[in-house]
Amino acid sequence: MTRLLETGLDLLDAENPHGLPSVKGWNIINGQLTEASDGARFESRNPANKDDLLGNFPRSTKDDVHAALDAAHAALPGWASTPAPTRGQIIGNMARLLIDLKEDIVRLETREIGKTVKESGGEVQEAIDTCLFFQAEGRRLYGQTVHSELPNKELSTYRRPLGVCAIINASNFPAAVPFWKIIPALICGNTVVWKSPKDAPLLSFALARIMHQAGLPDGVVNLVHGTGSGAGQHLVDAVDEGRVNKVSFTGSTGVGKMIGEVCGRNLVSCSLELGGKNPLVVMPSANLDNAVEGAYWAAFGTAGQRCTSLGNLILHEDIHDAFMERFMAKVHETRIGDSLHHEGVLYGPMLSEVYAKDFLTGLEMAERDGATKLWGEGRITADSAPSGFVDNAEAGVFMWPHVYSDVTEDMECFMNEIFGPVVTVVKARDFDHALHLANASPYGLSSACYTNDRLEAYRFKTGIKAGMTGINNSTTGAEAHLPFGGVKNSGNGTRESGMWVIEAYSYWHAVNDELSGQLQLAQMDVDEIHTAEATVDWSTLA
């Protein structure tokens, strides 16, 4: 960790298992390490081992958030006027630093939020891929030249930065998602105030340090720590005060709607990536072994703590029993624990006690609905643990995998997201019924259909109301050059990743360059072109 965070940091006098260091973390405002204005701090602990203190961090106040906004506004003119290829070079430097420090970052992420080492590795690679993609976009922020309808006039378009961007991301993807947001914001010439996730402040601090080590000027990216109701709310409130030109948020639909309302009344752009109740359909022609693997990973990878995790598993009635026999065999063998100390685990702990509490509350929906519980006993304890659990239940926040069957679309648990390791199983009579069920929830983020009937595949991908669809693939997974986002209650139509995200962090500027030396008014000064009557004797052509 010392190589990752470099020098000048205080280590806390805390006893940690395995001799791991605890760090005194800071806000980064205008390139300087700063405390909260009132001195308040909070802790970050390993959710797999509550005795493992990673560090403590400033609980930012309104004054701290405003200081960060002041720094971002002051840095905006210089950064916006920096040539885009130069901005791209700095982003390329970030990629190289991430590559060099990848192993350290991966282990830090796994320690702070409990993801498996393999998953953390994939997420950090996604951050690297994002940097490499947008480094090249610095040479491709193209505008257009447009032919005028008047003589001696040039028309052209340019992309311009929006201004100061407020970035608020969730704890479940603390490396990839902030890079999805911050890197395109930077390449377009914007400056940033980033509110780190409360459960991943040390990783966020390390990543922000890397950004500055890459050559980022002071004030271009400012990091503040704290709670969503504290620092996060202060950032959103700053929209009403005219201090924020863009908000990008990943989190719950309820909070996203509130942010959308604030931005809407101020005509401020916002990107909202929200929840999902993602359907996965399995039809009789599918390769069942492949479908079982996809559904199992989509449901329980990351302990089900992905916005793209499988929600409703929709099985054609002809293959329901055969599928469930294979699926439940895998569920019964699920290996759970801290991957820093145990090999071959599918998932680790919940992100925090707060996420664990919300997950258990969500399970109560399925119980109230009368769904049939096939597997799962809530929180793993010393007295209640599946055979595949390989850790210390009392030290961490671990959950059983849960499966509920006999679910119907009139149930609350069919309609609503339960954020954690659970899947609700629904029977479909035929393809039309399956597609109806896949579209029946109020969400529309990700979706999947396993079928080897090409017409069914075509009808699914054209009939589903979702931002993303997998054919013979799981509901999870994203690539840095594809758009990511949803429809309905899963988002407001903006997209992360790929060239499409440039639209979310820039605006089009049309330039009308008059070269004639006189006033020419479009439409009014355009000569009318008259048609002439044809002189052809059409009767001779009969």
SS3 402: strand
d(CA 52, CA 208): 23
Would you state the structure tokens that stand for residue 447, as one six-digit string?
Answer: 């979706």
H/E/C letters for each residue in 459-480?
HHHHHCCCCCCEECCCCCCCCC
Q: Taking each helix axis from N to C terminus, what angle separates 320-332 and 288-300, rounded to the nearest 10 degrees?
A: 50
Enumerate the H helices of 170-306 as residue ranges: 176-187, 201-213, 233-240, 253-265, 288-300
Both tokens of 368, joined, read: 């109230």
Closest CA to 283 of 328, 317, 322: 317
List the beta bridge partners of residue 474.
none
3-state secondary structure of 247: strand
Length of the chain: 542
Coil, strand or helix at 383? coil
Q: What is the dihedral of CA 59, 62, 68, 70, to 10 degrees?
A: -170
DSSP 409: T
* Residue 305 Cα distances to 91, 177, 262, 358, 443, angstroms: 29, 14, 27, 12, 16
Report the b/e string of 420-458 with b at 16+ CB within 10 A: bbbbbbbbbeebeebbebbebbebbbbbbbbbeeeebbe
As a whole number of angstroms, the distance between CA 443 and CA 464 comes to 11
Query: Distances in Å between the alpha carbon of 228 and those of 24, 165, 249, 360, 374?
Result: 21, 17, 11, 21, 36
- Do 298 and 280 contact (CB within 8 A), yes or no? yes
CB within 8 Å of 361: residues ≥ 6 apart: none
| Residue 49 three-state SS | strand
Nearest to 266 by CA among 241, 231, 229: 241
- HSE (CB half, 13 Å, CA atoms) of 50? 10
| Residue 33, strand partner residues | 28
Q: Which residues are tagged catalytic?
A: 307
Residues 6+ apart with CB under 8 A from 313: 279, 280, 282, 295, 299, 423, 424, 425, 426
* Beta carbons of 167 and 182 less than 8 angstroms apart: yes
